[in-house]
Amino acid sequence: MKNPHPPAVDTPALLIDLDIVRRNLKEMQKKADECKVDLRPHIKTHKIPELAQLQLDLGARGITVAKVSEAEVMAEAGIKDIFIANQVVSETKLNRLAALSKKVYISVGLDSISAAEKLSATFAASGLTIEYLIEINSGLNRCGVLPGREAVELYQATDELPSLQFKGIFTHAGQVYAAGSLAEVMEVSRHESKTMVETARALKEAGANAEIVSVGSTPTMKIWQGQEGVNEIRPGNYIFHDAIQISLGVATVEECALSIAATVISRPSGERAVIDGGSKAFSSDKGAHGKEMASGFGIVLGKRATLARLSEEHGVMNLDPEELLEVGDTVRIIPNHACAVVNLFDRAYGMRSGEIVEEFKIAARGKSQ
């Protein structure tokens, strides 16, 4: 990040370096093109329709979301191809999904016969059909059926149900966020793809064609070289990167597009400065799925400082006593987890060469239903 000095905005403020964003997006798109796979970025990272549109303009096939409400925001903004990489099971959400499917192409994940029955009943009642992808557990141990036989059995059970169309399989190897080395990241990535290719093969033997075989997280895709049989990737965080990606060894500070500008409101001692943002600006995220960040709550740009403690509206930095930082000065900090931070702000400021050039409404923030 060339310019660590924050521009003139009130703080705490969310800043997006638009040149870095474009570079990150182009790089992942290039990888997808070279590997001859579709890129379907997860937009839960930025939650901004204009950035989703930029991803599509640069070549993405469609977008991925986690929630029906995120899909609604993106559809409203004109995005036409949306995959909900999650389980949708409540009646309210299923009805909203059916309504949405009349306006845009929408597909959805599922991992149980119970979810499939509910989905089928809602769509059959509306005279609609929906394409679904079976979620495979490739090691995260969150949602998903086990690879191989369990996936085949679920397909065989769901194939009987009306209004559902089998489209493929997807997985997210989020356990990569607990990796202790780049070699471990590579191993998880290899396992993620291999598991999916084997499951697609097992399905084929059972007479099912998985048209889409979809993998992806930012770490497993940053080091990916392609895999015969995988034809879609769904990274999300790569648009911004963050301190967690740096700690895993898959990104550099120069690739981090998102930062928070904050003002020093107190310098009680040489070793301590307090800024005007705490857990309601930085989130309390110290690392997802296992890896604890050693460096506090973010990377303080251009200063020998650690954001060591957060209360809701205060961030306490431990400083080198020689560091020149006075009350009223501003600092810029790369957060640990960009996706969690974006969800805390109403708007973000787009910058080029240190100047604010655009303001974005974070239209899907808070859309967790």
Ligand X SMILES: Cc1ncc(COP(=O)(O)O)c(C=O)c1O
Where does this chain bind ligand X (CB under 6 A)?
A: 42, 64, 85, 172, 174, 216-218, 234-238
What stretches of 239-314 adopt beta strand conformation (E)? 258-269, 272-275, 298-300, 305-310
Could you give the CA distance from residue 232 to residue 59 in angstroms, rounded to a whole number? 13
State in angstroms the smallest separation of the CB of 142 from ligand X.
8
- Considering the complex, state which of residue 11 and residue 218 has its C-beta at the smaller distance from ligand X: 218
Nearer CB in complex with ligand X: 6/236: 236
Handedness of CA 116, 145, 154, 104 (dihedral sign): positive
Q: Nearest-CA neighbor of 236 among 100, 362, 63, 118?
A: 63
Tell the smallest beta-carbon distance from residue 278 to ligand X (Å): 24
What tokens does 212 get? Answer: 């889409």
Nearer to ligand X, 230 or 275 (CB): 230
Q: Is 51 or 325 the residue whose CB approaches ligand X more closely?
A: 51
Query: Least distance to ligand X from the beta carbon of 170, Å?
Result: 7
What separation in angstroms does the CA of 332 have from each of 62, 95, 239, 267?
33, 43, 19, 17
Could you tell me the CA-to-CA distances from 195 to 53, 86, 132, 188, 229 in Å, in that order?
Answer: 31, 19, 19, 10, 11
Nearer to ligand X, 7 or 59 (CB): 59
Q: How far is the CB of 27 from ligand X (least distance, A)?
A: 14
Which tokens is 307 given?
A: 């954001």
Give the shortest CB-327-to-ligand X separation in angstroms. Answer: 37
Query: Least CB distance from residue 356 to ligand X, whole Å?
Result: 26
Strands 212-215 and 232-233: parallel
Q: Please list the residues that pair with 300 across neighbouring strands.
A: 333
Is the CB of 248 or the CB of 300 nearer to ligand X? 248
